Amino acid sequence: MTVKTLSRTAILALGTAILAPTAHAEGDLYIYSWGEYTPPDLVDKFEAEFDVDIHIDTYDSMETMVAKLRAGAGGYDIIVPGDGTMQILIAEDMVEKINVFAMPNFAHVDERWREVYWDPKREYSAPWAWGSTAFVVDTDVVQGEYDTLAVLFDPADAVKGKINMLRDLNDVINMALRYLDLPRCNDNPEDMKKVLALLQTQKEWVKSFDSETKEPLVSGEAAVSMSWNGYAMRARDEKPSLTYVYPKEGFTGWMDNLAVPKGAQNIENAKAFINFVMAPENAAMITNYARYSNGIKGSDAFVDPDLAAAPEMTPPADVPAPEFIPVCSPESIELYDRIWTKLMN
């Protein structure tokens, strides 16, 4: 997600907030999430069923959200942290223990998302949506086999100068580590030197490091771009020759979760919302709106058939499983920062 798209949605969200009818409900629920991420029909349904007014604020990055919570600027009842951030929030005692595993609708949660590294017992968080970070190729430009990271790191002539990488040091370095077959969360300086050499060579052929990935692909500025699966689908809608690639070397998976920050005022409403979202017909609304998979069994029946069949949503059987990467050690974060600074010099 990018600052650009998000500020646009923030304005839209503000507009809707101002125009929204001001009927008074019994309770309130304050949600702090990404923009274009909370389905309006889901909000309406919950408001009607529970007589609760939902208020949504949006953030432009995980760091913004964590910084705001840390500064004590609370007032939020629901936050939507990614897997690594969730691990941090639990370690730093910044979220309420709400025993999600004991909620009635937890039975619908896919087994795959029950014992997760960031919340092994699901005491603090429920699944919201998950996806992957890999890359998109324009099949009009890229010839031959493209299910490999070599498309990015050893590009054909037609692709040189037309590569966009995400402006995210972790995503880029993880991709390079996979290509070199080196361990993730790497704190070995020798390994990281190889990563730097690879990225510096590649930089000659990189057009931009930009997290807005759809526009360059659609306009033809980029022939290959790192991307998230859901965003790749939106790009394909506008340009059918774009294909989301699951590289054989592997790719990163991520999950956004619902959690309740410490000091929330409306904990009961927040719990009700979390339980509500774990019902298959409600979780499906997330997928239909945000175009990312949810973690709820049986929700497929309520998902738009086109969406359910999309390759971005359901990877072919022969691709590797997404790799979920925990927060790395301070040593490797430090090394990554140095590598990135050198790369950007």
Partner 1 sequence: MKAPPDTGLAALLLSPALLIIAVFMVVPIGITTLYSFLEPARFGGVIWEYSPEAYIRLLFERDIFDDTLSFSTDYLRIFLRSLMQAGVATLLCLIIGIPTAWFIATRPDRQKTLWLMLVTVPYWVNLLVRTIAMLLILRDEGPVNETLQLIGLTAGPLPLSYNNFAVGLGLVYSFLPFMILPLYAAIERFDFSLLEAAYDLHANRWKAFVGVVLPILRPGVVAGSLLVFIPGIGAFLAPDILGGGKTMMIGNLIGQQFQGSRNWPFGAALSTVLLSLTLIALFWSARRAAKSGAQVL
> Binding string to partner 1 for residues 298 to 327, with x set by CB under 8 A, is what?
-----------------------------x
- Binding residues among 253-282 for partner 1 as defined by CB under 8 A: none
69 binding partner 1? (CB under 8 A): no
CA distances from 199 to 105, 179, 303 (A): 45, 11, 40
Told to check if 159 binds partner 1 by CB under 8 A, we report no
> At residue 33, what are phi and psi to the nearest 5 degrees?
-150, 180
Q: Rank residues 220 and 320 by Cβ distance to partner 1 and give the closer one.
A: 220
**Contact (Cβ atoms closer than 8 angstroms) between residue 322 and residue 295:** no
57 binds partner 1 (CB under 8 A): no
Q: Which stretch binds partner 1 (CB under 8 A): 45-53, 200-208, 251-259, 300-308?
A: 200-208
In the complex, the smallest distance separating the C-beta of residue 184 from partner 1, rounded to whole angstroms, is 15
* Binds partner 1 by CB under 8 A, chosen from 14, 17, 91, 309: 91
Residues 6+ apart with CB under 8 A from 340: 169, 172, 173
Asked if 283 and 163 count as a contact pair (C-beta separation under 8 A), the reply is no
CB closer to partner 1, 52 vs 199: 199
Minimum gap (Å) between residue 337 Cβ and partner 1: 4
For 251, residues 6+ apart whose C-beta sits below 8 A from its C-beta are 132, 133, 134, 178, 320, 322, 323
Q: Is 29 helix (H, G, I), strand (E, B) or coil?
A: strand
- Considering only 44, 220, 258, 294, the residue that binds partner 1 (CB under 8 A) is 220
Stretch that binds partner 1, among 284-292, 295-303, 308-316, 329-337 (CB under 8 A): 329-337
CA distances from 121 to 95, 207, 274, 289 (A): 14, 43, 16, 28
Q: Does 9 bind partner 1 (CB under 8 A)?
A: no
| 185 sits near partner 1 (criterion: CB under 8 A) | no
**Residue 342 touches partner 1, criterion: CB under 8 A:** yes
Other CB atoms within 10 A of residue 111 CB:
8
- The string of DSSP codes covering 180-200 is TT--SS---HHHHHHHHHHHH
Task: Assess 193 for contact with partner 1 (CB under 8 A).
Answer: no
Cα–Cα distance for residue pair 176/213, rounded to 1 Å: 19
Binder of partner 1 out of 13, 158, 169, 180 (CB under 8 A): 169
3-class secondary-structure state, position 262: coil
What is the binding site for partner 1 (CB under 8 A)?
4, 7, 61, 63, 66-67, 70, 88, 91-92, 167-170, 187, 189, 203, 206-210, 219-221, 327, 330-331, 333-338, 340-342, 344-345
